[in-house]
């Protein structure tokens, strides 16, 4: 294996990441206002911002799912138990002792086992849950004549809020981990430039040098 600086995040991935970040923060800000946790926005403005941001995020997620499936990058999110305990131990203990991260990024495995598992749970559980409950709440007028619809609406709203707080917890943890270990800029730079240090097999290095030389530094 040879360590090289390689473009591992495409332009779409970087756009998707930062656009998703902006929209999620807009949803958190407006959602907390709608829930009454702050009064920094006018209520009607918060509702409008929440709806527009939610619909924009759903469209973005739909495009990202299509992109992941057609490019094969969905493979980065396949969970594995290999190295999972070591990575979990590092984040709970080793990172505070200055230990080296036990995971080395690879060309087709840029997420460590804990990241892959976390991102997979977000994509297959939390994100669909927030979509479905949000759309059901938004479309209440279409099913309000069903029996016990008011009670069902409260249940849907409750699940929506719980899932929203779980996503907010992930965001907080994600931002926190950017501040520990290597410098903040070292963590963030790959999602700005697209380039990061990864281990390449001789075959991968030869392929990139021949077919995608702009992806190497």
Task: State the pLDDT at residue 184.
Answer: 65
Q: Which of 160, 174, 181 is CA-nearest to residue 20?
A: 174
Task: State the pLDDT at residue 40.
Answer: 86
Residue 181: pLDDT band with limits 50, 70, 90: low
pLDDT of 199 > 70? The answer is: yes
Q: What is the CATH number of domain 2-215?
A: 1.20.950.20
Share of the chain above pLDDT 90, in %: 44
**What is the per-residue pLDDT across 119-172, written as a single tens digit (0 to 9) for each?**
889 988 999 999 999 999 989 999 999 999 999 999 999 999 999 999 999 999
3-state secondary structure string, the chain? CEEEEEECCCHHHHHHHHHHHHHHHHHHHHHHHHCCCCCCCCHHHHHHHHHHHHHHHHHHHHHHHHHHHHHCHHHHHCCCCCCHHHHHHHHHCHHHHCCCCCCCCECCECCCHHHHHHHHHHHHHHHHHHHHHHHHHHCHHHHCCCCCHHHHHHHHHHHHHHHHHHHHHHHHHHHHHCCCCCCHHHHHHHHHHCEEEEEECHHHHHHHHHHCHHHEC
Q: What is the pTM of this model?
A: 0.84
Domain segments of the chain: what residues?
2-215
Task: State the pLDDT at residue 45.
Answer: 94
- CA geometry: angle 185, 61, 141, nearest 5 deg: 130
Task: State the pLDDT at residue 21.
Answer: 93
Task: State the pLDDT at residue 182.
Answer: 63
Least confident piece of the model among 47-61, 67-81, 88-102, 180-194: 180-194
């Amino acid at each position: 294996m040879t360590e090289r600086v390689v473009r591992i995040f495409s332009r779409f991935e970087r756009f998707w990441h930062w656009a998703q970040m902006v929209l999620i923060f807009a949803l958190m800000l407006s959602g907390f206002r709608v829930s009454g946790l702050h009064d920094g926005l006018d209520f009607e403005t918060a509702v409008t911002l929440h709806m527009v941001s939610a619909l924009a995020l759903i469209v973005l997620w739909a495009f990202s799912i299509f992109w992941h499936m057609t490019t094969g990058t969905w493979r980065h999110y396949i969970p594995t138990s290999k190295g999972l305990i070591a990575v979990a131990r590092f984040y709970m203990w080793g990172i505070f002792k200055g230990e080296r991260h036990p995971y080395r990024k690879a060309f087709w495995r840029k997420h460590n086992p804990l990241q892959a598992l976390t991102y997979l749970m977000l994509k297959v559980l939390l994100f669909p849950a927030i979509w479905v409950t949000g759309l059901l709440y938004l479309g209440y007028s279409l099913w309000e004549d069903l029996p016990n619809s008011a009670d069902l609406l409260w249940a849907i709203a409750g699940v929506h809020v719980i899932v929203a707080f779980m996503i907010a917890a992930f965001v907080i943890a994600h931002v926190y981990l950017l501040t520990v270990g290597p410098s903040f800029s070292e963590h963030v730079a790959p999602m700005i430039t697209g380039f990061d240090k990864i281990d390449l097999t001789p075959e991968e290095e030869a392929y990139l040098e021949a077919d995608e030389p702009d992806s190497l530094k």
